[in-house]
Amino acid sequence: MNSKLTTNQERAICSQLGNFKLKLLYKASIHGFTGAAFHLRCDNQYPTVCVGYNNSGRVFGGYTRRPFSQSGQYVNDDQAFLFSFSGEKLNKYPCINAPYAVKMHSNCGPYFGEALVFVNASQPIVYCNPGQYYNFNAAEMHGNNLNLTECEVYQVETEMEKPWRLVIWDTKRKAGMMESIKFYKPLNSSVTQARVLLVGPVGVGKSSFFNSINSIFRGHVTSQAISGSSSTSLTTQFRTYSVKAGREGKPLPLVLCDTMGLEEGVGAGLDIDDISNILKGHLPDRYQFNPSGPLQSEAHGFCKSPDLKDKIHCVTYVLDASKISIMTTKMEEKLKAIRRKVNLMGIPQLLLLTKGDEACALVREDIRNVYKSGYIKDLMQEAAARVGVPLSCIIPVKNYSEELELDTNTDILLLSAVVQMLRFVDNFFDEISDQLSSLTTEK
């Protein structure tokens, strides 16, 4: 979800709160202009800022430090206030009757006393009655236009005192990870390159992840794999990308396998049975996906007897952090179905959470805040629950998408993901070795 607030408007609101950041919980145009949708997203969240928008171009809202509920009761909040914008300038209207600052109404959105009610009676409208609880001029507030085009609710986000994961943010750390990746050797002597499969919905950044890793080792931002924004997958072939160390450098011991994006509908996006063929090493590079059905064993190009080097050694799911909360049940079920297949084959699995900077203002301001953001940790926990992977297997990253130059801190996050992939590949080969040892012992 993208915030409709401008950067200056967000800063103006945060300046009233102690320069904290805002994370978007509820967006009526996505979740629905209903009290039920609002409470589902916002109950027990606090402090919060509500912002309304109308087709007259007015932006106005309110702040409360009390958690929302559906109790039907008024709650006391002597720090609550309403606000409106004149351009980028914020006009503030403090609560003048604190015991009645906010009312918890099940059939409405944020309910500030009896003065200003958003999504009133589950409709895209505002109820307004200034005077007794908040003193403001209605024309100044919303231009007497009570029809909402959008309503957003944000949680006021604080920065953790200490990061919950330790990351060393310096060029020495980056150089060390690059060296460890360059000189990595798979534990099985018959394999020279680790093969990692990237799987995820359309538009989450699978191809962009390869481009970003490739950029780091090339020394500049590059774009070999097709990437961009589209409602359908831009990747239509199975591609195996080998990262090279420099412009004319040798291929690294890592192959990133890119797939067509997952889509909800039947006969759309990547077919789950094709994933089984990829995992087992049956699909050739540049195989053209057919959403209506998987490649059959009799078809031209089907590799009937793949070697261990052709198989997938680690599966990495890729999800968009800014869309985790609105992932559909169908997509969640499809991801879990894939995970079950991968589990049966004993292949280790990671999850990359992309676009954290779009989801969290703290991360957007400084990528080094990624493990100091409570919101990002919440999103990672939600992703863990939805896909069924442990939190320890989830890594937030930021791909290069609009930049022209590399950034050391962005590189460190991306490289840490690759290092973890190679550790999981080691786990895969360790398991194979253990199985072989067990069979030898039995004989």
Banded model confidence at residue 441, pLDDT cuts 50, 70, 90: low
Main-chain phi, psi angles of 68, to 5 degrees: -75, 150
Q: In this structure, what DSSP letter does residue 56 have?
A: T
Q: Is the pTM of this model over 0.85?
A: no
Nearest CA-CA partner of 36 in 112, 123, 101, 100:
123
Residue type, 145: N
Q: What is the mean pLDDT of residues 401-426?
A: 95
Q: What is the pLDDT of residues 191-239, one digit of tens each?
A: 999 999 999 998 899 989 999 999 999 999 987 765 554 444 455 677 8
Q: What is the total residue count of the chain?
A: 443
- 3-state SS assignment for residue 51: strand
Nearest CA-CA partner of 311 in 240, 410, 368, 360:
240
Q: DSSP letters of 94-107? A: EBS-GGGSEE--TT
Q: Pull the structure tokens for residue 314.
A: 């680690």
Q: DSSP letters of 9-27? A: HHHHHHHTTTS-EEEEEEE
Mean pLDDT of the chain: 87
Banded model confidence at residue 289, pLDDT cuts 50, 70, 90: low
Nearest CA-CA partner of 233 in 205, 274, 197:
205
CA gap 226, 251 in Å, rounded = 20
Q: In this structure, what DSSP letter does residue 352 have?
A: E
Query: What is the reported pLDDT for 32?
Result: 95
C-alpha angle 380-385-388 in degrees, rounded to nearest 5: 110
Query: Is residue 45 left, alpha or beta, with left meaning phi > 0 and alpha meaning psi from -120 to 50?
Result: beta
CB 103 within 8 A of CB 96: no
Q: What is the mean pLDDT of residues 426-437?
A: 85
Q: What is the pLDDT of residues 330-388, one digit of tens each?
A: 889 889 989 999 999 999 999 999 998 877 767 888 999 999 887 788 889 989 999 99
Give the relative orientation of helices 408-442 and 171-182 as an angle to the nearest 10 degrees.
40
Burial of 168 (0-12, 13-18, 19+ CB in 10 A): exposed
Query: What is the reported pLDDT for 308?
Result: 92
Cα-Cα-Cα-Cα dihedral of 63, 64, 67, 72, to 10°?
Answer: -100
Q: DSSP letters of 412-425? A: HHHHHHHHHHHHHH
Peptide bond into 390 cis (omega under 30): no
List the single range of 96-105, 141-150, 398-407, 426-435 with lowest mean pLDDT.
426-435
Q: What is the mean pLDDT of residues 39-65?
A: 92
H-helix or E-strand spanning residue 148: strand 148-157
**Domains observed in the chain:** 7-157 (no CATH), 171-442 (3.40.50.300)
CA gap 316, 216 in Å, rounded = 19
How far is Cα of residue 87 from the mean position of the Cα atoms in its chain? 31
